[in-house]
Amino acid sequence: MATQSHSQIASFIWSICNLLRGPYKRNEYRKVILPFTVLRRFDCILAPTKEKVLAELPLLYGKSDNIVSESLTQISGVPFYNKSKLDMTKLLDDPNQIAVNLQSYINDFSPNVAKIIEYFAFPEQIAKLADSNLLYMVIQRFISDELDLSPAAVDNMQMGLVFEELIRIGAEQANEEAGEHFTPREVIKLMVNLLLSPEQDLAKSHVVKTIYDPACGTGGMLTAAETYIKELNRDAQPHLYGQDWNKESYAVCCSDMLIKGENADIHYGCSFEQDGLPSHKFDYMLANPPFGVEWKKQEKSIKNEAESLGYNGRFGAGLPRINDGSLLFLQHMISKMRSPAEGGSRIAIVFNGSPLFTGDAGSGESNIRRWIIESDWLEAIIAMPDQLFYNTGISTYIWIITNKKEAHRKGKIQLIDARQFYHKMRKSLGNKRNVIGDGEDNRFDHIDLITRIHGDFIHNQQMEFISNTEASTATVSKIFNNADFGYSKIVVERPLRLNFQAIPARIDRLDSISAFAKLAESKKKDPAEKQWEIELGKVLQELYKANLSCMDYTVYKNRDQFLKALNQMLKQQHIALPAPIIKAVLEALSERDESADICKDAKGKPEADTDLRDTENVPLTEDIDAYFKREVIPHVPDAWIDRSKTKVGYEIPLNRYFYVYQPPRPLDEIEAEMKALEQEIAELLEGI
């Protein structure tokens, strides 16, 4: 067979899907194609050593699993083996038992491969293919002379490209759910560029670098980072680490790594509850965690860790809202940074807009942002175009986090506005309508441009760029001090001013006040006692109201004077009111009155009116007292700050910093457009 490109091989493999039409939907094709490709590749790799493995098996009878595994992998020359006498070609010799024999063949693989096939949920597909009389034909196509997946015909690198192409096609076919496990390759390329471009030691001979993704999906980010390093230095030794709790994505990732012979350590499970690499630290970390996904299932373990370990654990800075765990991923990654003394680490992570500003001062999100910024770890945030991802059209942001900032970046944060850096796709894929990079016809490469802007580190950098066919000039980069994103949230209080009057309308309000209403309630279990207590309470209510009616209709603008008059009346009536009822009376008979005297507490200090309470966000770069005197006192001279309630918050309102005022269109232009629309509507109505 003539040498084929990886695209040609992938196209042939995907053409096998033609057999699946009917029993399978398009978004289900990958459930068959990917595991069969893995099996066929492994089958071809093990073929030259199969007879030696089978000859060795009797000699290993009764030996421990570790000894068996070590011996057979030594013979196979790869980190897996198969003990079955069958191979994929021999499966066709017994068409009636093909499903049973295929499952038996899979079960005889080494545990690492058997686990991968299990996580593909492949037994279900075997049964479905057998029931549809398709299993024989699918295997026949995979072992045909047209498809040679042996290492002699397709080396590990090319096979990796084939498998990645199949992953990409499968994700695009299932575009309604692709974003759950597939990040567009051009986004990954940009993240890797931003992460690795400042690194000076990647060119060192045989440099060893560790790369980690806690939500690795199919492993695209890990592979892209490795490729970048290898392009810079072919002698470099990247070690890949990852974790994912989607079984299919985990299986795809592990398959891809085994197929390419990668030095990879991939774990299955939730990174928060079952950290597969608890003691590891990494040079580089990348992630595209799911947007806006709740963490209620992990709530107990996460809260326990936060409360028991604090900053010695992963979540000491704070916990975000239960319905968005994005910042949990970032905290998890930060916990795995190498110390600056060990060389430090760099992190690139994709978020939606929520982590930028959601959460008020003192909230979990704000406290996490505060911890990151005050630790001087946030290097840059890049605002990306919308409609880049397959399963969502929302805008996204790439955060660059590091504890090894270059000297000129220390204490600074760079914001980059790349929202207009994209090309329109000729054909959309799900919600993906835009692409960054050089586009579909090798036009302007936005990835290189964004990487260069990041490297330039220029405040108010102006740049002319091309978006689709239009050329524009805009501010694309701004540099801020860390403190520019912080603020003190102060509570502004104003004094409580009330007047009091014992008129019928106010006395009737007592019925709606809890303490007064509870007089006619009972917790007794005995019905007779319960009823007696309720009736007694009603009598007391009427008595209290009748006594209040004895007061005149004088309007008191001083609470102490009213209390004095009230007590005199009660003394004359020989009645004593409990403290809760006195409080209820004051509440019912009062109304706010700006002309009334200020109500004061037992220490003579003004009481605050909760209805007039307000807050102000004072930038950390400003003096609170000076701000209060300038911005508040001129409007409300009697206000004061309750300093016990002051909280520090952080937010990153990126859109505000890059906002460009757009003047409204001229009125005559709007009027002309409205008239044209009215004319169009009139013509349409005439045609009905």
Per-residue pLDDT reduced to its tens digit, 71-104: 999 999 999 999 999 999 999 999 999 999 999 9
Is residue 8 one of the residues assigned to a domain? yes
Determine the pLDDT at residue 102: 96
Mean pLDDT, to the nearest integer, of 561-574? 93
Could you count the other beta carbons within 10 Å of the beta carbon of residue 313? 15
Determine the pLDDT at residue 600: 94
Distances (CA, A) of 412 to 11, 92, 504, 649: 48, 65, 65, 18
Residues with Cβ within 8 Å of 193's Cβ and at least 6 positions away in sequence, in order, are 228, 447, 448, 450, 451
Decide which of 140, 159, 174 is a domain's last residue: 174
Decide which of 141, 174, 207 is a domain's last residue: 174
Whether the pLDDT of residue 291 is over 90: the answer is: no
What is the number of residues in the chain? 688
Mean pLDDT, to the nearest integer, of 499-528? 94
Q: What would the pLDDT profile of 127-154 be if each residue is shown by its tens digit?
A: 999 999 999 999 999 999 999 999 999 9
Q: What would the pLDDT profile of 221-231 be if each residue is shown by its tens digit?
A: 898 888 888 88
> What DSSP string describes 2-26?
----HHHHHHHHHHGGGGGBTTB-G
Give the E-state strand segments of 513-598 in sequence order: 590-592
Is residue 28 one of the residues assigned to a domain? yes
Residues with Cβ within 8 Å of 157's Cβ and at least 6 positions away in sequence, in order, are 260
Q: Which amino acid is residue 306, in one-letter code?
A: A
Whether the pLDDT of residue 175 is over 60: the answer is: no
Residues 466 and 349: their CA atoms lie apart, in Å, by 26
Is residue 30 one of the residues assigned to a domain? yes
Mean pLDDT, to the nearest integer, of 642-656? 95
Q: What's the structural domain count of the chain?
A: 2
What is the span of the domain harbouring residue 539?
Answer: 495-607
Is residue 563 one of the residues assigned to a domain? yes
The band of 16, judged by pLDDT with boundaries at 50, 70 and 90, is very high
Q: How far is CA 687 from the centre of its chain?
A: 52
Is residue 11 one of the residues assigned to a domain? yes
Q: Are 170 and 37 in contact (CB under 8 A)?
A: no
Q: What would the pLDDT profile of 387-412 be if each residue is shown by its tens digit?
A: 888 777 888 999 999 999 999 999 99
The band of 471, judged by pLDDT with boundaries at 50, 70 and 90, is low
Whether the pLDDT of residue 474 is over 90: the answer is: no
Question: Would you call 509 exposed, middle or buried from its count of C-beta atoms within 10 A (0-12, 13-18, 19+)?
Answer: middle
Is residue 265 one of the residues assigned to a domain? no
Distances (CA, A) of 234 to 5, 191, 204, 237, 283: 22, 21, 10, 8, 18
Q: Which amino acid is residue 255, in one-letter code?
A: S
Q: Are 22 and 29 in contact (CB under 8 A)?
A: no
Mean pLDDT, to the nearest integer, of 466-484? 81
* Plot region of 152 (φ>0 → left; ψ -120 to 50 → alpha; else → beta): alpha
Could you count the other beta carbons within 10 Å of the beta carbon of residue 555? 13
Whether the pLDDT of residue 179 is over 50: the answer is: no
What is the value of pTM for the model shown?
A: 0.85
Residues 665 and 645: their CA atoms lie apart, in Å, by 45
User: Which two structure tokens, joined as six digits, stand for 63?
Assistant: 């030996």
Residues 128 and 385: their CA atoms lie apart, in Å, by 42
Decide which of 115, 140, 174 is a domain's last residue: 174
Q: Are 290 and 111 in contact (CB under 8 A)?
A: no
Determine the pLDDT at residue 181: 43
Residue the block writes with tokens 């929520």 = 354
Is residue 628 one of the residues assigned to a domain? no
Is residue 283 one of the residues assigned to a domain? no
